[in-house]
Chain A
């Protein structure tokens, strides 16, 4: 059933299949997002699509939605090969997409939102909302919209906005609805309701492609499921074959176990940062951890588990709803990043280009921007000492092996890995007590990735406390002394020593909140 030895997925498309994706590949620049995936689903089927972050699920959805074009392969509907050049065409073909970021216009009524982009009945050239309401009413009630059609959407919950999106799909006479992480932002009871509506849709002949990290939902809901890994279809399972163990095994793959862990100085006992019950609802729901000096602590978990949000709380970007922190023995509650920086923190943000760098400015400018006090002639006369600026920049360029023409080269011209080193170098010039790195090697080539990992370990060996967030389960075991796995805004497992492995991280990520929480302090 699993495709470890035999990469051909099981099951064959039959004449009755509604959607048939065959050997679709797509590269972005040099990155092969899809190496060749196949998937089919029948009319009225609820079909699960699962895979780790970066497995290629989103890319396939973008192709089906007409947002991007495949390099290779074919997509067929009802056995006929179709091309989907635009989102409009996708809708015409009967496919509707409900993305994580819900499309709705606040300030318009429920009905207006349902009818967004749908041709409307008119009377004497005017839109006849009453007639439309008569047509839409039964559909709206069927999907469980209780709000009046003429009510403003502003006061509606996320769940109700989902229902509006589903209703829109039905008004358009959708035959296939693609749902991307539908329950990610829903409360438990709302999720239940949504799931029952999905079942109801299926009974009435509408197929649903259900993309979710929550394996319980896949197991409880789907007639069949397809698993992607590294841009390939690795398994297709029919209802009878579906099990948690089989799914996890397919998602993780039997691939290489982690490399031997490099020797590292034992972490010191001094606690650099202690967080107790940090919360900012709904993304972070009570997180506690201790970060020691000289330790590399990893935060693993799936996208949306609340990891980046946690770093934003620690760094004072967002305000906490509840919880306390202690930094070097003193209470620490930064109201903004400036205070966090002053207290001795540094953050290498997830979005390097958007949040890390001033791209049009030089390497030296970007290196020194958090460190200006060190390069002025005197605090009273804050004129920049250009010699000092140059020598500090050059030493950082040398230490981190940043490849750049000179210190005045605009940082936007550097490669991703070198840009990342500039952001890291900026903090090293301040020698922070705690350095937080969010996705430190995303979009970085293999060589630079190794260098950044070595650098992080060196810093820890010199006593810095380091918090690393990563979506790549492969990254954390090699890099970290200890990994906390987050799911749904909480820490669900602590992995250390021999228990710390790629597979353990993935397994814990998916186990999510359903596993009883071990007692972490």
Chain B
């Protein structure tokens, strides 16, 4: 008790205001500074409409999965199954189309439903059996990886993927905007509306802010938490589908890497505009930062190993900024 009291030194008002500004707008300033710097260093390759569209297109999948994850963290839980789930869903959708000859829309609906079910299972394990969400979703995610290998027998499903399915990700059906960007915009817009502007969103935020108070206010906390996992699961499925379409194949563990990217985006986002609070708009900005970072590295031809180092560093900085923001809002 005393240890905590001494560790939680009061910040002076000046330092608090300065740090608060840094924590809230630091990520956005960083994003702008990065774009300016890359534009100066590589004026021909970087600041072009083509490149920006490309970055956004590439980042759309990460943004969708990260936005889903945002819902899980807003209700106060973590979902580590999303990367593995997206990999499985990629295999599943190609398998249903190629092996089972299902029409593409039906295959997509089935996979999205499976994604929701995975989320439901995560949510039930966490709320009813009371398993810590880190463990629960790590376990479920690992099981999903096993299922992915079982379903594909370890071999990527490549042959016979119809062109129409590829066009899902590669096409530009509206005003020449890549489909991925359109889907991303719809998903993020919808989730933003849900969390920020609906009564359900208020309940979601209350559960994340103080589950005990939410419960005593008459909110069904378990149901809201399960909803967070289901949304996270559906978004993971959508990412898996779009990735399979972009790659033209279903490959086990193809989407595993999205897990780290999504977490980095979500935590960077929580340090954006608000003091350590997770929100959809923040996640979008977080994902943009990461996307431009890697785009810059690619343009300058940085070696592959540097990407891993950067990814890890971003994650740590993101969580650090996020907890700094929270410390400021609580002091």
CB distance from B183 to the nearest CB of A (A): 23
Interface of chain A, main secondary structure: mixed
Instruction: Compute how far the CA of A317 lies from the CA of B217 in the bound complex, rounded to whole angstroms.
Output: 11
Those of B213-230 within 8 Å (CB) of chain A: 213-220
User: Does A317 lie within 8 Å of B199, measured CB to CB?
Assistant: no
- Asked if B145 CB lies within 8 Å of chain A CBs, one says no
Those of A329-371 within 8 Å (CB) of chain B: 336-338, 340-342, 347, 349, 354-361, 365, 368-370
The stretch among B107-115, B200-208, B295-303 that forms the contact with chain A is B200-208
Given contacts A68-B2, A336-B220, A341-B218, contact A358 B199 (CB under 8 A): no
User: Does B220 lie within 8 Å of A358, measured CB to CB?
Assistant: no
CB-defined contacts of B160 to chain A, threshold 8 Å: none
CB-defined contacts of B209 to chain A, threshold 8 Å: 358-361
CB-defined contacts of B198 to chain A, threshold 8 Å: 376, 382-384
CB-defined contacts of B205 to chain A, threshold 8 Å: 358, 361, 365
Instruction: Compute how far the CA of A317 lies from the CA of B202 in the bound complex, rounded to whole angstroms.
Output: 22
- Asked if B53 CB lies within 8 Å of chain A CBs, one says no
CB-defined contacts of A375 to chain B, threshold 8 Å: 199
CB distance from A381 to the nearest CB of B (A): 9
CB-defined contacts of A127 to chain B, threshold 8 Å: none
Tally inter-chain residue pairs, CB-CB below 8 A: 85
- Asked if B197 CB lies within 8 Å of chain A CBs, one says yes
A interface bracket (residues with beta carbon within 8 Å of B) = 20 to 34
Instruction: Compute how far the CA of A340 lies from the CA of B205 in the bound complex, rounded to whole angstroms.
Output: 22
Q: Size of chain B's interface in residues, with CB distance under 8 A?
A: 26
Closest B residue to A67 by beta carbon equals B1
Given contacts A336-B220, A341-B218, A365-B205, contact A356 B199 (CB under 8 A): no
Closest A residue to B210 by beta carbon equals A358
Among A67, A336, A426, max chain B CB count under 10 A is at: A336
Given contacts A68-B2, A357-B210, A382-B200, contact A370 B329 (CB under 8 A): no
Instruction: Compute how far the CA of A490 lies from the CA of B1 in the bound complex, rounded to whole angstroms.
Output: 34
User: Does B277 lie within 8 Å of A360, measured CB to CB?
Assistant: yes
User: Does B220 lie within 8 Å of A369, measured CB to CB?
Assistant: no
- Asked if B317 CB lies within 8 Å of chain A CBs, one says no
Closest A residue to B193 by beta carbon equals A383
CB-defined contacts of A342 to chain B, threshold 8 Å: 218
**Which one of B1, B210, B217 contacts A370 once the chains associate, using CB atoms below 8 Å?**
B217
Instruction: Compute how far the CA of A85 lies from the CA of B1 in the bound complex, rounded to whole angstroms.
Output: 13
**Which one of B200, B203, B206, B218 contacts A340 once the chains associate, using CB atoms below 8 Å?**
B218
- Asked if B212 CB lies within 8 Å of chain A CBs, one says yes
Instruction: Compute how far the CA of A347 lies from the CA of B212 in the bound complex, rounded to whole angstroms.
Output: 12
- Asked if B256 CB lies within 8 Å of chain A CBs, one says no
- Asked if A315 CB lies within 8 Å of chain B CBs, one says yes
CB-defined contacts of A410 to chain B, threshold 8 Å: 329
Those of A361-398 within 8 Å (CB) of chain B: 361, 365, 368-370, 372-373, 375-376, 382-384
Closest A residue to B198 by beta carbon equals A382
What 1/0 flags go to B1-14 for Cβ under 8 Å of A? 11000000000000
CB-defined contacts of B77 to chain A, threshold 8 Å: none
User: Does A373 lie within 8 Å of B199, measured CB to CB?
Assistant: yes
What 1/0 flags go to A296-327 for Cβ under 8 Å of B? 00000000000000000001010000000000
Given contacts A67-B1, A341-B218, contact A355 B199 (CB under 8 A): no
**Which one of A341, A355, A368 contacts B212 once the chains associate, using CB atoms below 8 Å?**
A355
A-B contact pairs, 7 of them (CB 8 A): A337-B217, A342-B218, A354-B212, A359-B210, A361-B209, A365-B205, A369-B203
Please name 11 further chain A to chain B contacts, defined as beta carbons within 8 Å, in addition to the given A376-B198, A384-B202, sorted by A numbering: A68-B2, A338-B220, A349-B216, A358-B210, A361-B205, A365-B202, A365-B206, A369-B206, A372-B203, A410-B329, A412-B330
Which 10 residue pairs spanning A and B have beta carbons closest together? A341-B218, A358-B209, A372-B199, A370-B217, A382-B199, A358-B210, A355-B212, A338-B218, A376-B199, A338-B220
